[in-house]
Amino acid sequence: MRNILLSILTISSLSTFSFGTSGKEILDKVEANLTSAKDQQSLVEVILGSGNKIDEKRIMKIWSAGKEKRIVKFVSPDSVKGIGVLSLPNEEMYVYLPAYKRTRAIQGNMKNQNFQGTDFSYREIGSFNYSKDYDSKLISQSDGKSTLELTRKQNSDAEYDKVILEVDTVNYLPIKLEMYSSGSLKKILKILKSENKNNYWILSHIRMEDLRKNHFTEIIMKEVEFDKGLENKGIFTKRFLEEPIR
């Protein structure tokens, strides 16, 4: 009787552990953690380089609300100043090019193209939203860290077939992402620094490496503000996208 009871307790514990640490639950917690503020606006430094050499530094502003609303605009240098991207729900996305005074929709595979010489695609710039395009599976777990395998959903046009995501399961924050296409590792995103500001977590220093080009882009948070009522100010609109950068 005692052995039967122990077996039941063991099975129950394993079942609870497995459910509590499923890949989907971990990914959902990470994304919820990074979008817990009503909105966020930030000023960031963008560093472009190849090998161990820095080629260019830029300044960029990012406004975001939830997982699916964001605007990204370059502040400097003059060669890219005012260029911006607007991302909205239902895969709606636009790019503004001030030299042509024109806003155009970003559709299909163009969303997977790199944004203005950076190593971030239009999909990736300024956001962390993988649950929409990928199914997640927990493949390993140790003290304070879990590794997930994300596989592209059948109805998704995301660029990568598979993403390996390492997660800090103490704070539920991403550590590293490896992005695969046709079985080959294409890019690596490393979170070099995370910070808690005003009870919100931010990824304050990240680095994307494109292994095909031996090129990297780092984004370093310089200023950040939360809960500014951005949606009520008409931020996430084509009109704001086209406004001169201030």
CATH code of residue 115: 2.50.20.10
pLDDT given at position 246? 74
Q: Is residue 6 part of a domain?
A: no
Q: Is residue 17 part of a domain?
A: no
- 39 three-state secondary structure: coil
pLDDT given at position 6? 38
Token digits of residue 33: 């953690």
**Longest distance between any two alpha carbons in the chain, whole Å:** 80
Q: Is residue 16 part of a domain?
A: no
* Regions of the chain short of the pLDDT cut 50: 1-19
Q: Read off φ and ψ for residue 129, nearest 5 degrees.
A: -145, 90
- 55 three-state secondary structure: strand
Q: Is residue 7 part of a domain?
A: no
State which residues form the domain around 46.
22-242
Alpha carbon distance 116, 125 (integer Å): 11
Q: Is residue 215 part of a domain?
A: yes
Q: Is residue 197 part of a domain?
A: yes
Q: Read off φ and ψ for residue 31, nearest 5 degrees.
A: -65, -40
pLDDT given at position 96? 97
Q: How many domains does the chain have?
A: 1
pLDDT in tens, 60-108: 999 999 999 999 999 999 999 999 999 999 889 999 999 999 999 999 8
Q: Is residue 201 part of a domain?
A: yes
Q: Is residue 235 part of a domain?
A: yes
